[in-house]
Structures are given as C-alpha cells and as structure tokens.
Amino acid sequence: MQLHPTSLASGTLGDDAFRFVEWLAEAGQSWWQMLPLGPPDRARSPYKSASAFAAWRGLLANPSAEVSDEEVADFRARESFWIEDWARVAGGRRAIADQVRFAREWDKLRAYAAERGVGLIGDVPIYVAPGGADHLAWPQLFRGGEVSGAPPDAYSDLGQLWGNPLYDWPALQRRRYRWWTERLRRTFGLFDVTRIDHFRGFVAYWAVPDGATDARGGRWRRGPGRAVFDAALAELGSLPVIAEDLGVITEPVTRLRRSLGFPGMVVMQFGFDPDDPRGPHRLEHHEPDSVVYTGTHDHDTLRGWWESLPREVRAAASSQITAAGLHEREPWWSLIRLTFSSPARLAMVQAQDVLGLGSEARMNIPGRATGSWRWQMAPGALTSDLAKRLRSATQEAGRI
C-alpha cells in the first residue's frame, strides 16, 4: 500500500506508524511504499528536498530525545560522505543529532515491519533541489545555464518547468558516479526496494534555458544510460529498483530498463482511454516485469477519478469490470480488484482508495504551487473490516 508517513494521523514515525504496519499485515499486504523522506520545500513537496541524503526532522515522534556524543561520532563516521555538508547548512551538531534520532526510530519501525512480513519501498527523485545541500556541496556535478523540465504534451502546451539543476554527466563520469552510488547506498540502507522517479532522464532529459518562463524552449540532451547503475552495482552488489517510466517512453528507455532488470510502472487510471487501444496501461497489455498502481501520489483518488470521468471512459471501465466478474457496490473497490487481477508482479493501492475517499484526499496536483501534500488520515480510519475486505480481495487474486 502507498502512504507517506506525513499522511498518518500523527504525521510521524510514532505509534500510529506501528499500528499501520499491523494493519497492513492483517490486510495481507507485503509492502509499504512511501514518498521521499527528506526535508520538504515550502510547498511541502518531498520531491524538492533540501537534501538527497538527510531525513526530515518533522517525521520524528520524539524530536527531543537525548543523543550522546558517542552516537553523533558514530553517525558522522558511518555517513561521512554527506553528513558534514548537511550539518553546515542545517545547524551543526543539532542537525546530526536529528539524523541519529531518525535512525533510531526508523530502524525500530523497519525491524517491526520485517517481523510482520512487510517490506518498505522508498522513492528517489532523479533531481536535487536548487540551492539545497547537494547543490551547494557539489557544484562541480551540476550544469549551468539550463534547468530541468518536461516538453509540451497532451496535458500542457507549455510543458513543465521544474527548475532543478541538471547534472553535468561528464563530470560525474570522471568521478565514477560516486555521488549517485552513495545516494543509492543511503537509500538501500533505509529501504528494501526503491522507486527511481523520472527514469527516462537517464536516457534523455529535457533541458530548459535558465530564466525561461515555460518549458517550450527546451531541448533533449543525452543522459548517461546504464553507466550510473553499473557503477552502483559494482559497489552495492544488487539494485532493487522500480523504474518510474510513465509518460511518453521511447524504445531506448524500455531497453535500458529491461537490460537492468528493473520492473516498470503501469497505472490503472490510464488504462481505459478509447483513443489509446495499444497503450501499455491497458490491462490486456500489462507485463509481469512491472508494478501496477491504482494511481500514484500525482493522480486523483480512485473515487475522485471515477466521479469525474467522461461517459465513454466510464463505460469502458465498467465494461471491463463486468467482463472480469469483479463488480462491487463501490466502483473503487471494483477497480482495486481489477488492479489485483493484473499479471504485474506487484500491485500497489493507495490508502485513500481503500478508504473510498474523494478528490479532497488527493495528495498532489502537478503544476499547482500550493495546497498539495497535506492529506492526513483520520485516527482509526483503517478498520479491521477494511483489512478483512482488502485481504479477501488480495487472496482471491492469488497475491498473498
């Protein structure tokens, strides 16, 4: 199930995080997927974190817990690649102590989850925040004159202007991609598996002139391909990665993903467009080497999506649900069961969808500067009855 810790009732790694793990186990779920854990930006987005390595103090259940000098010294030695740079911008010893506190709480939660058969899935944004600790500490690894974005498409005539600094891939190559290897080492020290956001950027990325007001004037530039992952593989031994390959994906992107053995992503909400009969998100085109999502943090909830559908798309979805014999009183539960019927190796459902919440519970609306990243569950919202219902749907699909 996908749920960021900030969406728990407390928004922290405290008691309700442990209760959520218990609920997942009761519901027959084997994975808890989260968004990035770094300090979010002013809009609360975890995808423009001030650090690609540090965890956010706001997740701490006990932010005033005592930390000894020995613990600080041990952490500095263990995480020497990045911790001093973070301390310089975030408050010296206090910032390091917060990372020690996070490690304590996280290790306890992760062990608790593992004991109950629940693995943790993380998320790595491809880019870092402008002016963040990484950008300041390693300026030699980033290009000047251009910033990140996405080209115009069916969803936006102006494209998307993200504004993150772009990597100087030749400079990273000269350093044997060590920054990326250390970033992945840190990630796999926290999670069992991680999703890498905007995977297609390793093949080609959209570079927009710095100072542009939109992304139309950008151009495609060649990425490093598999060299980044080969360097990390040589150091780390294995790379349990899910490649986020949504959007307009070219054959070289698919070829790279498959050569690395990374599963890609498909989204059920994209699977019913009558004008896209060959689309990869249609259930009949799903492949085992993928992870199927009801929706991601960037999409509406299943209920909100269903209630806003054009008539022809809703008819196409209803027809497929009926043909599969998966009709439920609530359409979102029919869609959950349809998602579970996919041949994809892993099926991921958002907590909001199990709860049957509408668009008010949507996590993010891409392109909107304010109002996102704020949804939190009500205390006790995930009941035993919901756990039994989800377990039954999971078991029926042969996914337990």
What residues act catalytically? 197, 244, 298
Within a 10 A sphere around the Cβ of 43, how many other Cβ atoms?
A: 14
CA atoms within 13 A on the CB side of 121: 19
Alpha-carbon distance of 257 to 290, in angstroms, equals 11
- Residue 139 phi, psi dihedral angles, 5° rounding: -60, -25
Residue type, 304: G
DSSP collapsed to 3 states, the chain: CECCHHHCCCCCCCHHHHHHHHHHHHCCCCEEECCCCCCCCCCCCHHHCCCCCCCCHHHCCCCCCCCCHHHHHHHHHHCCCCHHHHHHHHCCHHHHHHHHHHHHHHHHHHHHHHHCCCEEEEEECCCCCCCCHHHHHCHHHEEEEEEEEECCECCECCCEEEEEEEECHHHHHHCCCHHHHHHHHHHHHHCCEEEECCHHHHCEEEEEECCCCCCCCCEEEECCCCHHHHHHHHHHCCCCEEECCCCCCCHHHHHHHHHHCCCEEEEHHHCCCCCCCCCCCCHHHCCCCEEEECCCCCCCCHHHHHHCCCHHHHHHHHHHHHHCCCCCCCHHHHHHHHHHCCCCCEEECEHHHHHCCCHHHCCCCCCCCCCCCCCCCCCCCCCHHHHHHHHHHHHHCCCC
